[in-house]
Amino acid sequence: MKKIIVSAFEPFGGFNVNSSYLVLQQLKPRYGDTEVSLIVLPVLYKKAFDLLKTAIEKEKPDYIICMGQAGGREKVCIERIAVNINSAASADNEGTIKTDEIIIPYGPNAYFTNLPHKDMLGICGGDTVISYSAGTYICNDIFYRLMNFIENSDREIKGGFIHLPFTEHFDKMSYMKLEKQLKTVEAILTAAED
């Protein structure tokens, strides 16, 4: 039996919901022979990964899929690359703003996901795209820290990050319905099973 950890973020930026959290709430604890552990993370630099790392060490998963919200995007985005920098005008949920700060000193400039992103894209079809920018906010921070952890782990783990558009629960013009986002994420989990 395979194990997958799926994470989502709490609301941030003045919103009272987060697309990733709404999808996470609808996921099942098991898909076929794959056990799914769900975790909600705070929108806080480094602390989010500290909590994820604790879950990884406890659950010992085969796959880790982190999810976050990217308002303005129209499709589910499988992120391909994480960069070693935090630099965003937006504060985290404790008011911290980072500008041109290295995430891990002496770490590589970037990491690529080792998820089967092409298989995931093939299964999900037109509702999903590959993205080459996870931004430089907390989504990128946790993605980079995750891939650094995987690189230095003695276990074979696959991990990556998925950005989700707004759902219909936001008063925004561009959105994808929650039901469609859920089905897309479930298809991604199915690809991870294989």
Q: Which of 66, 77, 117, 163 is catalytic?
A: 163
CATH 1.10.1200.10 fits 2-193, yes or no: no
Give the pTM.
0.95
pLDDT of residue 172: 67
Residue 22 scores a pLDDT above 80: yes
Assign 3-state DSSP to the chain and report helix, strand, coil percentages, each to 5. 30, 25, 45
Whole-angstrom Cα distance, residue 177 to residue 119? 23
Q: Is 66 a catalytic residue?
A: no
Every domain of the chain and the residues it spans: 2-193
Residue 142 scores a pLDDT above 70: yes
Residue 190 scores a pLDDT above 90: no
Q: Which of 77, 79, 117, 124 is catalytic?
A: 79
Residue 46 scores a pLDDT above 90: no
Q: Which of 66, 77, 124, 139 is catalytic?
A: 139
Tell me which of 64 and 120 has the higher pLDDT: 64
Residue 1 scores a pLDDT above 90: no
pLDDT of residue 174: 83
Q: Is 151 a catalytic residue?
A: no
Tell me which of 31 and 49 has the higher pLDDT: 49
Q: Is 101 a catalytic residue?
A: no
Whole-angstrom Cα distance, residue 39 to residue 157? 17
Q: Residue with structure tokens 């973020």?
A: 9
